[in-house]
Structure 1
């Protein structure tokens, strides 16, 4: 015996699985059986004769009658001292009891399910004892009603034929007293030791349960206007239920129904009426509560699954819902506008009929256009995931549902719009953005859709003018014909009105128009650079032509980004500066915050480490070029490769030119000399900023200046040495020479002397900067974006010497480092490149400010 018990314990999971599968099979089979007994036509006819409010009340009472059954499960949790939440007990209890109502088997199914839901962490013997006691009390309520019915029958207050059921009633009535006395007297064992309060709780739950069952049946008959004495129905119902329970037939189907039909017929109720009564009882007490139970069941399964896989299923589902609702908003809007624009086409083209869920009447053309375009712009708000779009979309869909139901009745449209409404409510968490920044990508899509629909409507109006040629030659396109000019004009007015609404709604979605980042805080930025270091681009932040985003690890500022914003794109210059260990967290926080405010960061000229990090965060990349590094330890001007450069250097040195490094602060005289050289070098050209330095006195005063002087001690060329906040790499930014006074080759003279100077400073590499589009897209296997960039490289070389720049740096470079641009997968690469081009070529005024007003640029599409 002991070995058998151990074997059962070892295979408990298998038995549980078999049990659950058996329950599913039984329930499915009983649903089929119930389905066979339900005559749909009879139900339709019955519903047609019963007022709607009565049907609703039947459903409410049927649902309320299930609630007392939850008392078993609350008592079970007390008996076993379980700590389940009340909401969990309520949900699982509803599921257990509604399944048990269908499956039956004297409550055995409910006991198995309760064991699965509540008692996994408890001792099996203790659990078995508690469940066995509950099983004993499940029918105690029916027993009490049996006793009551027995006295009703023998008292002579009922029809005489009901006395034949006294045996069933007394038999059922004796069950409760026997169980109560047995559990009260037995102090130990599997069925013993049940406290008085638990006995009373279980008995009360069962009594209320059967009271609910009886009340549901009686109320349905009352609402059907069946005139029969309750004193006769109650004993008949209870006796039939006892027979059904004794027979152990799932759901008491068969014996209960037969007894009720025969008994009610003896009471003078037509057989057809009794059948409908029973059908409605099955529907409102069994099927509808069971359907709600299934909803709770799948919710329970879903919660477990979602918890097991770290909420990924929920996120995927909400994402799918979001995409579906966006598609349906756009689809519905397009269909409504087309319905008002080419109504004849929906009659002639069958495929268009199948696509359309709406109906058309001439009188509703105006609201069709208003609703159609409104759904389109609401679709944009939802697609952009803007919080502010939620309530207006809910309101518009509600109006559309009422409109489709009352004005232009279309059941399919009502169902479609209702599903959209439900999905938007369920997936509200997907709307997380605080404002709308109307990106070029979104504007392109919406302009194509809304513009095409508007132009089509106008074109059809022109086509229907009396003076149009087709009226003279008799050749017409039938579905371009419009009912009347007056009707077309009303639609045109609707387009004008909805255009104003679209502009106002977009302005509403834009919200506070918050921009990312802050203006340069020199104290914070310098603290990060001094403590954690920087890179070759860090010094560009002091140009003050970019915004700054600072990451704090919870204790101190450790990382910053420098960027400029155009449209919805935050173009980040280079790699982040600061503590490398925090780069990944800083990237994540910056991207998350930008997404919240509807911006898309674009990371311009980053290294390979950043590519790997950002690719994991959902970014695509394109190679932008290669950066030239000079190994100062191995650099030499000897050899055949540098023969021409040596000749130039010797010539300049013989002419008396000298190299010198000036330290800050620079005198007013020196600064004026730098200004004259810069102006001479620029000529008619304008300063550029962002990825390159421009002439700014405050910026140049931040680092040493390498200069070339003539024999008179006059500065003719200069290059500002950029602090890189690292001992590994040195570089320069502005490198300019006087167009008249500087000798040919002065830049080579400056470079070679700089290499020697920085080598003496202990610096290993000199950064010559990037060669744009160098070695990009050469391979047939390269990304399509890079292949396109290669074409730009080849074509652009006619206007800008990409290859010449590469060749110039090649003679010094020891190695080349690839540089990349990373962009969100939601962006279009063409618009990303345009934004970079516009940012990188902004004109800088002589006072060091960006030519265009930044606030105005925010509004620019």
Structure 2
């Protein structure tokens, strides 16, 4: 006996340690659980006459049968949903699935189902125990978007099922119909089915609200921002880095805090803004860690507005690429207003100087009165629209207090336009323009003047480059051999001025003779590019009031 027990124990350990249980075992178990749930619903009708209640009168037997019939729908439908959760490897679904398998076994016994079917339930429970260690996910984005599909499909199934049930069990229902008890033919059966359907989904949804709470929030604590400031003293940033201080994105610290990734949960993905920051040798492993982190929540990952210097690292981690546009970067070492190309800029600068317009650079901390003036300009410029977010700054006093602001005053010494700067945290190599606002009655060319003065200021401050920001869809899809999606982007660039002035923005930034640096979206193959792009654009456009 001991020898047999020892062999069983070794076989059990071997099964638990078998590497393929992580893939095959989970799939097989989820299918078996689904079949158990579906079979229970079917058996609840076809085995109704075999209920082990022979000592009871027909009417009492019928009442008990109806209760078991409805209970079977509740348990069966719950097992179907739980099979999906097991397939998604949600560890919090393990215990409740075991409980429902036990309930399944009890109902099968009362329905008089043969022992072979009951043995399959026991086998399903044992295999579920074996693959328990592979149920590692904490939460699934599936529950919000795709439960709706399950709810609709199950409703259609229940309606069809309950309408057919009286005819499938004509002989069982006949005595009850004659004695006018509990259910009337057809109509009452359907009402009972809808009732138990609603009870089942109320239970499942309430359980999900309680058990699977979404812990991923698109915000960062003030303590973490202090940690970021210390981190940036030792690590270089880029055009996206300063946006972390908006506080609207979460932070992922990879490689034990050696790499920083700022991200937002957008749809079914964690979308990182820009490239990871940190030591180059750790970036690739940090990307893989970030993928593993997202996988715990059944989410994919994407990287928005990345540069081309790290594309190989993304490629090694399975990403595809889509060109978003180009960033305009002005080299400052040889920048001046000489030459034919700069004629319009010289003319505008001289004109505004003759009319006593002046430029001033203001540094934090800012007075309440100064910020109040800027707020009025910003509100007028927005004209009731929401601020964009995620990949662009917005008017937030705490955020503005972390960078310098260039202003234009008119001849009456009143501020009519302003633009905040965005540092790259790269030892003063590059600075960019961030928030740009001007009054509606400002003269034409006021933004040319503001940009020009900011560029000249950056040159005087010793910066090597000045970024004018992105020109979306610029030079996208120009090759005959590019992807279909990028060819569509080219069409939007050429003919989409009704929605966004793509061409005008590129022309405006081109006045300053910049170098154009491509920016990309890195996304996994499993994600639909159009769906991801639409989700990101909607997230950016949701903005702040």
Whether the TM-score (by the shorter chain) exceeds 0.5 is: yes
The structure-2 alpha-carbon separation of the partners of 1:813 and 1:575, relative to structure 1 and needing over 3 Å to count, comes to farther
**Aligned to 1:731, what secondary structure does the other structure show?**
strand
The match for 1:730 is: 431
2:206 corresponds, among 469, 493, 504, to 504
The match for 1:837 is: 537
Shift of 1:446: 3.7
1:433 correspondence with 2:137: yes
The match for 2:113 is: 409
The structure-2 alpha-carbon separation of the partners of 1:578 and 1:520, relative to structure 1 and needing over 3 Å to count, comes to farther
The structure-2 alpha-carbon separation of the partners of 1:583 and 1:456, relative to structure 1 and needing over 3 Å to count, comes to same
Shift of 1:315: 4.3
- Deviation per residue, 1:540-559 (Å, 9 max, x gap): 22223333344573xxx544
Q: Which runs of 5+ in 1 are unaligned?
A: 1-59, 68-89, 92-291, 304-313, 344-360, 467-481, 846-861
**Aligned equivalents of 1:775, 1:340: Cα separation in 2:** 63
- Deviation per residue, 1:23-72 (Å, 9 max, x gap): xxxxxxxxxxxxxxxxxxxxxxxxxxxxxxxxxxxxx5xx74x89xxxxx
1:652 corresponds, among 329, 332, 352, to 352
The match for 1:493 is: 195
**Aligned equivalents of 1:703, 1:446: Cα separation in 2:** 45
1:533 corresponds, among 225, 231, 236, to 236
The structure-2 alpha-carbon separation of the partners of 1:620 and 1:520, relative to structure 1 and needing over 3 Å to count, comes to farther
The count of corresponding residues between Structure 1 and Structure 2 is: 510
The match for 2:179 is: none
The structure-2 alpha-carbon separation of the partners of 1:339 and 1:773, relative to structure 1 and needing over 3 Å to count, comes to farther
Shift of 1:648: 3.2
**Aligned to 2:509, what secondary structure does the other structure show?**
helix
The match for 2:151 is: 450
The structure-2 alpha-carbon separation of the partners of 1:293 and 1:713, relative to structure 1 and needing over 3 Å to count, comes to closer
**Aligned equivalents of 1:516, 1:739: Cα separation in 2:** 33
The match for 1:387 is: 91
Contact 1:365 1:491 in 2 (8 A): no
Shift of 1:319: 1.4
- Deviation per residue, 1:335-372 (Å, 9 max, x gap): 655777999xxxxxxxxxxxxxxxxx999642442233
Contact 1:568 1:599 in 2 (8 A): yes
Contact 1:569 1:835 in 2 (8 A): no
**Aligned equivalents of 1:659, 1:841: Cα separation in 2:** 31
The structure-2 alpha-carbon separation of the partners of 1:782 and 1:417, relative to structure 1 and needing over 3 Å to count, comes to farther
The structure-2 alpha-carbon separation of the partners of 1:814 and 1:571, relative to structure 1 and needing over 3 Å to count, comes to same
The match for 2:249 is: 546
Shift of 1:389: 0.5
The structure-2 alpha-carbon separation of the partners of 1:615 and 1:385, relative to structure 1 and needing over 3 Å to count, comes to farther
Contact 2:220 2:247 in 1 (8 A): no
Shift of 1:414: 4.5
**Aligned to 1:532, what secondary structure does the other structure show?**
coil
The structure-2 alpha-carbon separation of the partners of 1:651 and 1:335, relative to structure 1 and needing over 3 Å to count, comes to farther
Contact 2:44 2:111 in 1 (8 A): no
The match for 2:411 is: 711
Contact 1:564 1:839 in 2 (8 A): no
Shift of 1:610: 4.8
**Aligned equivalents of 2:338, 2:456: Cα separation in 1:** 14
Shift of 1:563: 3.1
Q: Higher strand fraction: Structure 1 or Structure 2?
A: 2
Shift of 1:393: 1.2
The match for 2:325 is: 625
- Deviation per residue, 1:159-189 (Å, 9 max, x gap): xxxxxxxxxxxxxxxxxxxxxxxxxxxxxxx
Shift of 1:637: 4.5
**Aligned to 1:608, what secondary structure does the other structure show?**
coil
Q: Which runs of 5+ in 2 are unaligned?
A: 48-64, 168-183
The structure-2 alpha-carbon separation of the partners of 1:381 and 1:788, relative to structure 1 and needing over 3 Å to count, comes to farther
Shift of 1:843: 3.6
Instruction: Spell out the pairing of 1:323-362 with structure 2 (5 A cutoff).
Output: 323-330=27-34, 332-334=36-38
Contact 2:89 2:135 in 1 (8 A): yes
Higher RCO (C-alpha 8 Å, min separation 6): 2
Report which stretch shifted further, 401-410 or 704-713: 401-410
The match for 2:379 is: 679
The structure-2 alpha-carbon separation of the partners of 1:755 and 1:588, relative to structure 1 and needing over 3 Å to count, comes to same
The match for 1:663 is: 363
Shift of 1:693: 1.4
Contact 1:575 1:606 in 2 (8 A): yes
The structure-2 alpha-carbon separation of the partners of 1:341 and 1:792, relative to structure 1 and needing over 3 Å to count, comes to farther
Shift of 1:584: 3.4
**Aligned equivalents of 1:455, 1:505: Cα separation in 2:** 23
1:765 corresponds, among 456, 465, 482, to 465
**Aligned equivalents of 1:825, 1:403: Cα separation in 2:** 44
Report which stretch shifted further, 570-579 or 424-433: 570-579
**Aligned to 1:766, what secondary structure does the other structure show?**
strand
Shift of 1:528: 1.0
Contact 2:162 2:189 in 1 (8 A): no
Task: Output the aligned Cα RMSD.
Answer: 4.0
Instruction: Spell out the pairing of 1:698-847 with structure 2 (5 A cutoff).
Output: 698-726=398-426, 727-740=428-441, 742-777=442-477, 782-783=482-483, 786=486, 796-823=496-523, 827-829=527-529, 831-845=531-545
1:690 correspondence with 2:390: yes
The structure-2 alpha-carbon separation of the partners of 1:516 and 1:683, relative to structure 1 and needing over 3 Å to count, comes to closer
Contact 1:626 1:774 in 2 (8 A): yes
The match for 1:563 is: 263
